[in-house]
């Protein structure tokens, strides 16, 4: 065998060996996808509907309760006056009672600027002459169509008698405003107020043109004499009430910034005291008018 033949023979055998090895080898497979060998998670469990759910699906939910009926402001005012009647009665029998817890009606009315919540202090011992004067003016009778009125509904007469008594007016003035009919509780209160009031003591009516004319932020017990203070704008509305007070000998004179402010009471001496740079004190006013009244 020539060299070329031997080389060809060796090449044929080597090729045959390679071909046999490829036929024996398993076919090449693509790699499995990620997670192919992992077990599949079980299907999510579904809760069976409860009997209550079945009922709720079949029948609608019950309707909510209706809202409470609105309470008229007049009813709240009436309830608050009754509360203050009891507080005042307890305070007058025992001044050491001190501050009382605020009730809902009083807090609401005070926030609205409505009497009686806006007229009383929680601690009645802290009421000043200014406070009692404001209560008296608010409780005085006035024409129903008056723009100067402070109340939408009339105040009980016991409130007016209380204010006049704390301002120092005598028993005859308090009796002038006794109601024709009264309940037992308020009648007992007004009876004690009249019994403890002074007798034959006249006071002074002050009429100002603007706030700051006289200092009333003092204890009522320190006033030199009874006093009632109004603004000139309130005079037309309270003219009839002032006539009643005058007929009960409540005033010895009227002091005002302007001359003769009361045309309905010409016989009542009118003393003009000009406005000062600071509020007049009551003692100063009484010293000025005592020689002339």
Outline where DSSP puts E strands in the chain.
203-208, 227-231, 251-256, 270-272
Q: Are 105 and 117 in contact (CB under 8 A)?
A: yes
Residue 153's pLDDT is 66
Taking 3-state DSSP, the helix, strand and coil percentages for the chain, each rounded to the nearest 5, stand at 45, 10, 50
Domain boundaries of the chain, sorted by first residue:
127-289
Cα 275 to Cα 111: distance, rounded to the nearest angstrom? 33
pLDDT in tens, the chain (293 residues): 545 455 456 546 644 554 454 444 444 455 555 555 555 555 555 555 555 554 455 566 777 766 555 567 788 888 899 999 999 999 988 887 766 667 788 888 888 888 898 899 988 989 999 999 999 998 988 654 554 444 556 789 999 999 999 999 999 999 998 877 667 888 899 999 999 998 888 899 999 988 889 999 999 989 999 999 999 888 888 888 888 999 999 999 899 887 776 777 778 888 888 888 788 998 888 887 765 55
Cα 161 to Cα 140: distance, rounded to the nearest angstrom? 10
Using CB atoms within 10 Å of the CB of residue 178, give its burial: 0 to 12 exposed, 13 to 18 middle, 19+ buried.
middle
Token pair, residue 24, equals 């024996």
Q: Integer distance in angstroms from the first to the last C-alpha of the chain?
A: 170
Buried b (16+ CB within 10 A) or exposed e, 38-47: eeeeeeeeee
């Amino acid at each position: 065998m020539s060299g070329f033949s031997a080389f060809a023979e060796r090449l044929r055998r080597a090729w045959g060996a390679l071909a046999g090895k490829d036929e024996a080898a398993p076919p090449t497979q693509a790699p499995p996808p990620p997670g192919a060998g992992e077990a599949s998670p079980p299907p999510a469990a579904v809760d069976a509907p409860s009997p209550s759910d079945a009922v709720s699906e079949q029948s609608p939910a019950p309707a909510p309760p209706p809202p409470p009926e609105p309470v008229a402001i007049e009813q709240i005012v009436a309830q608050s006056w009754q509360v203050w009647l009891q507080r005042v009665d307890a305070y007058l029998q025992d001044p050491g009672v001190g501050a009382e817890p605020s009730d809902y009606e009083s807090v609401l009315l005070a926030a609205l600027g409505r009497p009686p919540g806006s007229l009383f202090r929680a601690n009645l011992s802290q009421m000043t002459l200014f406070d009692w004067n404001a209560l008296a003016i608010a409780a005085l009778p006035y024409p129903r169509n008056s723009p100067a009125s402070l109340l939408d509904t009339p105040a009980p007469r016991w409130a007016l008698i209380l204010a006049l008594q704390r301002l120092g007016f005598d028993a005859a003035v308090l009796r002038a405003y006794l109601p024709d009919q009264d309940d037992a509780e308020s009648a007992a209160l007004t009876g004690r107020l009249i019994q403890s009031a002074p007798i034959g003591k006249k006071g002074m009516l002050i009429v100002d043109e603007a706030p700051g004319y006289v200092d009333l932020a003092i204890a009522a017990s320190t006033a030199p004499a009874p006093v009632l203070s109004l603004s000139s704008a309130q005079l037309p509305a309270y003219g009839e009430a002032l006539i009643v007070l005058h007929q009960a000998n409540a005033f010895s004179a009227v002091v005002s910034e302007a001359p003769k402010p009361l045309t309905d009471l010409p016989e009542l001496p009118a003393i003009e005291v000009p406005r000062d740079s600071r509020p007049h004190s009551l003692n100063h006013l009484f010293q000025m008018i005592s020689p002339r009244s």
